[in-house]
Amino acid sequence: MQQRTIGDTAVSAIGLGGMPMSIEGRPDEARSVATIHAALDAGVTLIDTADAYHRDADEVGHNEELIARALRSWGGDASGVLVATKGGHLRPGDGSWTQDGRPEHLKAAAKESARRLGVEAIGLYQFHRPDPAVPYAESVGALAELLDEGVVRQAGISNASVAQIDEANEVLGGRLVSVQNQFSPAFRSSLAELEHCAAIGVAFLPWSPLGGISRAGDLGSTHAAFGRVAERHGVSPHQVALAWELALAPVVVPIPGASRPASITDSVRAAELTLTADELAELSA
């Protein structure tokens, strides 16, 4: 598969987002493991997770543990797979999402994530979402300490503005390697952050790149241009959306969530889909 770079690590141009396998409406574990194995078989070498990807209050890290088990049971060599996780979000168990960006929380959470993943150092650790109650520089400062202590190999941020990207990179001493923001045909307001990442050479990881769990199935009809281009190429609108995102900048690495082997197998084919300049203009209009 086409390769892209996060920091000093080459990864597949399409990653796998683990959230749908652990939150409300999740499938049974066998299907989730089959989905992860299908991604690995197709050449995916980036899997994104978070300690907050769970459903019930007493199962923090559900998705991290699921991914760790799937990697151990896969028949191939998983040593080249980058597992990226995040900290700073909490799920009380009532369906809501809250924040805790205190440095002491993030440092403890990272060490717990490393334990669950079964690694000495997390390949990529990301601050999940800014906490209004904590100065941003203090939260990101925890990532700098985790880097210095060797708990994490690389650091990123998520749900950040252009100003926060620059602030984080300054706090990290130029060591920011990735920004994970929502971006899709339906949600384009992070285009400024994507373009800024391209300008400074930081990877941009669109989350919900197909529009989210509840909307992805309607992508071709809700956004007609993607349906038209898909028909011309004889592919799914999802492949067109991911190929469009890849074409926006060489730093873009979409991480579509999946809970079925067929979904991620289809998404991966986007890395080989070439769109014309006219098609890209049509999709960007």
Concatenate the DSSP letters of all residues of 84-152 into one string.
EEEESEE--SSS--EE---HHHHHHHHHHHHHHHT-SSBSEEEE-S--TTS-HHHHHHHHHHHHHHTSB
Q: What's the one-letter identity of residue 231? A: E
> Structure tokens of 103?
């440095």
Q: Does residue 148 form part of some domain? A: yes
Question: Has residue 77 got a pLDDT over 90?
Answer: yes
Give the C-alpha separation, 14 to 227, whole Å: 20
Mean pLDDT of 75-96: 96
- Helix (H) or strand (E) run with residue 70 in it: helix 62-73
Q: Could you tell me the pLDDT band of residue 214, with boundaries at 50, 70 and 90?
A: low
Predicted local distance difference test score (pLDDT) of residue 223: 92
Give the C-alpha separation, 231 to 169, whole Å: 42
The count of structural domains within the chain is 1
Q: Does residue 271 form part of some domain? A: no
Question: Has residue 213 got a pLDDT over 90?
Answer: no
Q: Could you tell me the pLDDT band of residue 216, with boundaries at 50, 70 and 90?
A: low
Q: Does residue 36 form part of some domain? A: yes
Question: Has residue 212 got a pLDDT over 90?
Answer: no
Q: Does residue 139 form part of some domain? A: yes
Q: How high does pLDDT run on average in the chain? A: 96
Mean pLDDT of 101-115: 98
Among residues 53, 127, 136, 244, the one annotated as catalytic is 53
Q: Which domain holds residue 10?
A: 3-218+250-259
Question: Has residue 57 got a pLDDT over 80?
Answer: yes
Give the C-alpha separation, 240 to 228, whole Å: 10
* Catalytic annotation present for 125: no
* Dihedrals phi, psi of 2, to nearest 5 degrees: -50, 140
Mean pLDDT of 263-280: 97
Predicted local distance difference test score (pLDDT) of residue 42: 98
Helix (H, G, I), strand (E, B) or coil at 31: helix
Question: Has residue 215 got a pLDDT over 90?
Answer: no
Question: Has residue 260 got a pLDDT over 70?
Answer: yes
* Whole-structure pTM value: 0.96
Mean pLDDT of 72-96: 96
For residue 182, give the CATH number of its domain.
3.20.20.100
Question: Has residue 263 got a pLDDT over 90?
Answer: yes
- Helix (H) or strand (E) run with residue 59 in it: none
Q: Does residue 280 form part of some domain? A: no
Predicted local distance difference test score (pLDDT) of residue 217: 72
pLDDT digits (tens, 9 = 90+) for 114-137: 999 999 999 999 999 999 999 999
In this structure, how many other beta carbons lie within 10 angstroms of the beta carbon of residue 59?
Answer: 14
Predicted local distance difference test score (pLDDT) of residue 141: 98
Give the least confident one: 118-127, 171-180, 209-218.
Answer: 209-218
Q: Return the percentage of the chain with pLDDT > 90, whole number.
A: 95
Query: Alpha carbon 91 to chain centroid distance?
Result: 18
